[in-house]
């Protein structure tokens, strides 16, 4: 089987979207699928070259850059990219197109090209007009869509309700992790050092709980806190808040390449996911109801102790046996849980070990395998 993965994403970039795309292309290729990733020729200050190394993935798939959209107007950029990319897929006689973009799906249906569509949020966030068009003409019921992939059960429920899709056509697959990247790191169990290290890796957008981390650092001065994530501007803004609060036991560093994440996580004892009840996306929408954070699986694979906000979608993966789940708005409860972990290290280590065991069912390799098995090509 050969797949053309069409993604209007900048590669390489710091976005979680681009990490997900690269990991899935690698995983498809590991399952004996010939993969071509078709992306824009647009680049950022990271430049070209070393894309595979940047994401820590194998060079087992091809990256093709679509140059037709280089000077396209902003308003129609996505449509020109999708249209020209479909033509490429037709020309190269791909068996299946894979995409996370509804505009690409729209052109696949028009050109009668079989494809798999994966969605991580409400389609309204892409284009409200396109949302209404898909709903009016029931495009999601098209036989050209072989499978509809979503990352959580609530998101499946949303699309079944909005678009009247056949339930057996929708496959719920949370995000994943490259477990091998973690087992290569030879580290001891957490909570073995006198000073407890507490970490966070991820975006710094509103709703990510950065204020919770600052409050924890302020109230537990005996621990050392590290935050990795955000643009230089975002990291600088958080640093300003740290200085204003006169917090001395916290370190912040802007975004790091995904290949460096395993080592940075394994340096910590406790890892935080202090999501609030509303979590802002890069595009401004709220993803708290149906998210599947990649960091959750990376945290689990690291064998560190996880403390997370207790949200319904998080409980699809985490529970009291493999983590500590806390009311996102109750800072005193967060403080108490950290102190409980420090005072009862054996129980905390047992939870960390269970998380590392549980994450084996959430690898990128197995995720790709399930998708391949679900389609009849």
Residue pLDDT, tens place only, 68-124: 876 667 668 888 999 999 999 999 999 999 999 999 999 999 999 999 999 998 875
pLDDT above 70 covers what percent of the chain? 92
Residue 256 sits at φ, ψ, to 5 deg, of: -115, 150
Q: Which fold has domain 180-361?
A: Rossmann fold (3.40.50)
Map tokens 């020209």 to a residue: 84
pTM for the complete prediction? 0.94
Cite the residue boundaries of each domain of the chain with CATH code 3.40.50.2000: 2-172, 180-361
Q: What gap in Å lies between CA 108 and CA 316, rounded to an integer?
A: 32
Residue 223 tokens read as 């621990």
Pick the CATH number of 2-172 from 3.40.50.2000, 2.30.40.10, 3.90.1170.50, 3.10.450.50: 3.40.50.2000
Q: Is the pLDDT of residue 346 over 90?
A: yes
Q: How far is CA 251 from CA 127, 173, 198, in A?
A: 39, 34, 10
Residue 77 tokens read as 């950029």
Helices (H) and strands (E) in the chain, counts: 14, 13
pLDDT score of 205: 86
pLDDT (tens digit, 9 = 90+) per residue, 283-335? 666 789 999 999 999 999 999 999 999 999 999 999 999 999 999 999 999 99
- At residue 129 the predicted structure's pLDDT band, cuts being 50, 70 and 90, is low
């Amino acid at each position: 089987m050969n797949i053309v993965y069409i993604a209007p994403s900048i590669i390489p970039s710091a976005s979680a979207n681009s990490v997900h795309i690269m990991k899935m292309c690698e995983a498809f290729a590991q399952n004996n699928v010939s993969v071509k990733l078709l992306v824009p020729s647009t680049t950022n200050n990271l430049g070209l070259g070393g894309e595979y190394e940047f994401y820590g993935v194998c060079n087992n798939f091809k990256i093709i850059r679509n140059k037709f959209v280089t000077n396209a107007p902003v308003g129609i950029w996505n449509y020109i990219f999708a249209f020209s990319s479909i033509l490429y897929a037709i020309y190269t006689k791909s068996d299946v197109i894979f995409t996370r973009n509804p505009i690409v799906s729209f052109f696949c249906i028009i050109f009668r090209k079989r494809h798999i569509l994966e969605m991580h949020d409400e389609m309204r966030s892409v284009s409200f007009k396109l949302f209404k068009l898909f709903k009016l003409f029931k495009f999601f019921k098209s036989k050209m869509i072989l499978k509809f992939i979503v990352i959580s059960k609530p998101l499946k429920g949303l699309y079944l309700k909005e678009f009247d899709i056949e339930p057996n056509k929708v496959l719920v697959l949370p995000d994943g992790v490259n477990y091998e990247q973690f087992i290569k790191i030879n580290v001891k169990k957490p909570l073995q050092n006198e000073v407890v290290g507490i970490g966070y890796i991820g975006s710094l957008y509103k709703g990510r709980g950065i204020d919770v981390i600052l409050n924890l650092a302020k109230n537990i001065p005996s621990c050392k806190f590290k935050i990795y994530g955000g643009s230089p501007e975002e990291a600088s803004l958080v640093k300003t808040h740290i200085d204003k609060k006169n917090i001395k036991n916290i370190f912040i560093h802007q975004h790091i390449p995904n290949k460096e994440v395993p080592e940075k996580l394994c340096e910590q004892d406790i890892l935080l996911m202090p999501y609030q009840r509303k979590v802002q996306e890069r595009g401004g929408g709220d993803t708290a109801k149906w998210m599947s954070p990649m960091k959750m699986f990376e945290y689990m694979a690291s064998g560190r102790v996880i403390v997370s906000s207790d949200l319904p979608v998080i409980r699809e993966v985490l529970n009291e046996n493999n983590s500590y789940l806390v009311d996102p708005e109750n800072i005193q409860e967060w403080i108490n849980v950290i102190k409980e972990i420090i005072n009862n290290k054996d129980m905390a280590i047992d939870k960390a070990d269970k998380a590392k065991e549980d994450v084996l069912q959430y690898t990128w390799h197995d995720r790709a395998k399930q998708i391949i098995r679900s389609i009849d090509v």
